[in-house]
Amino acid sequence: MRTDRPFRFAVILGTNEIASAVAVRLHRAGFRVVLSHDPLPPVIRRKMAFHDALFDDAVTVEGVPAERADSGLQIRTSLAQAPGVIITELGLLDLIVIQTIDILVDARMQKYLATPDLRRLARLAIGLGPGFAGEVNCDVAIETRPGKAGQIIRQGYADPPDGISRRLGSHWGERFVRSEFAGRWNTAIEIGTRIFKDFVVGHLGNTPIRAPFDGILRGVVRDGIEVPAGVKLLEVDSRGRRAIWTGIDGRGQVIASAVTNAISRHKTGAPEKTGHSLHLVK
């Protein structure tokens, strides 16, 4: 299925809000972009992400549309014709035969899982966040930790996860509700809904899952998804009118900018420039 190289091809592993921010930036830079879905961890900030296009929902992020494709042939056709990005459940081994990958970005944010070696799978392989190390398991690593997000690491490891969620409004990690056991998640509540403390947002199996405090539902796992124990099911933003649940947030912008900067520096051979150190939300 390999052909001549009619376009610059970028593959992003992950369909979350960080993967989507990177996809928007690469699309605007002229790349044809495919996002490859991984079920872990489940995506909660779905209004900031292309994720729901997997279910044939009409999805745009910052004006960029997404289209689902289910086969290599369909992806190849869509890449030549689609105005936006492509999202698929096909894995990297299925995508690598379409065309030589120019840019490969692992944006799955799998902080506590084994980190793959991405080197030699693309012309430039970039790993985002914990577990990745420049010239060890990727060509370039990029920090995602709030306070250091966007720093480009040519050699050495990104910071390990510290398990500490940064502050959002008046709340820290308590704004998330996690699954205490594995099961099927069901909810009829939409992201952006105003909810109140102890409001039942959904059910994990037969167990009701309640809002931890008053606020706006910033993120929630899609209805009908099987989830493992210990993952985030929902997030509440207590900031009232200042709550944000759509578009690309500040952290996503910084990380996406760092990706394009790393690509540019790789092309020119110039020294890497780190991103700004900002106190951003995890």
269 band by pLDDT with thresholds 50, 70 and 90: low
What CATH code is carried by the domain that includes residue 100? 3.40.50
Q: Is residue 80 classed exposed, middle or buried when 0-12, 13-18 and 19+ CB atoms within 10 A define those classes?
A: exposed
What is the number of other CB atoms lying within 10 angstroms of the CB of residue 121?
17
Q: Is the pLDDT of residue 275 over 50?
A: no
Q: Is the pLDDT of residue 54 over 70?
A: yes
Is 200 a member of any domain?
Answer: yes
Residue 124 and residue 177 in one domain: no
Residue 185 and residue 70 in one domain: no
User: Which of 8, 21, 2 minimizes the C-alpha distance to 246?
Assistant: 21
The pLDDT of residue 279? 32
Average pLDDT, the chain: 91
Residue 264 and residue 151 in one domain: yes
167 band by pLDDT with thresholds 50, 70 and 90: confident
Is 223 a member of any domain?
Answer: yes
pLDDT in tens, 177-223: 999 999 999 999 999 999 999 999 999 999 999 999 999 999 999 99
166 band by pLDDT with thresholds 50, 70 and 90: confident
Domain count, the chain: 2
Q: What is the pTM of this model?
A: 0.91
6 band by pLDDT with thresholds 50, 70 and 90: low
Question: Regarding predicted confidence, which is higher, 126 or 275?
Answer: 126
Is 273 a member of any domain?
Answer: no
Residue 202 and residue 178 in one domain: yes
Q: Interhelix angle for 250-268 vs 17-28, to 10°?
A: 50
- As a whole number, mean pLDDT of residues 115-127 equals 96
Question: Regarding predicted confidence, which is higher, 6 or 94?
Answer: 94
User: In which domain, by residue range, is 108 found?
Assistant: 9-161+250-268
- 46 in helix, strand or coil? helix
Residue 93 and residue 198 in one domain: no
146 band by pLDDT with thresholds 50, 70 and 90: confident
The pLDDT of residue 114? 85
- As a whole number, mean pLDDT of residues 28-37 equals 97
Alpha-carbon distances of 37 from 51, 72, 108, 177, 210, rounded to whole Å: 8, 14, 9, 23, 28
Residue 33 and residue 89 in one domain: yes
Q: Is the pLDDT of residue 5 over 70?
A: no
What CATH code is carried by the domain that includes residue 230? 2.40.50.100
What tokens appear for 113 in the block? Answer: 């899982």
pLDDT in tens, 214-263: 999 999 999 999 999 999 999 999 998 899 999 999 999 999 999 999 99
Residue 79 and residue 142 in one domain: yes
- As a whole number, mean pLDDT of residues 117-139 equals 96
CA–CA separation, 262 and 15 (whole Å): 21
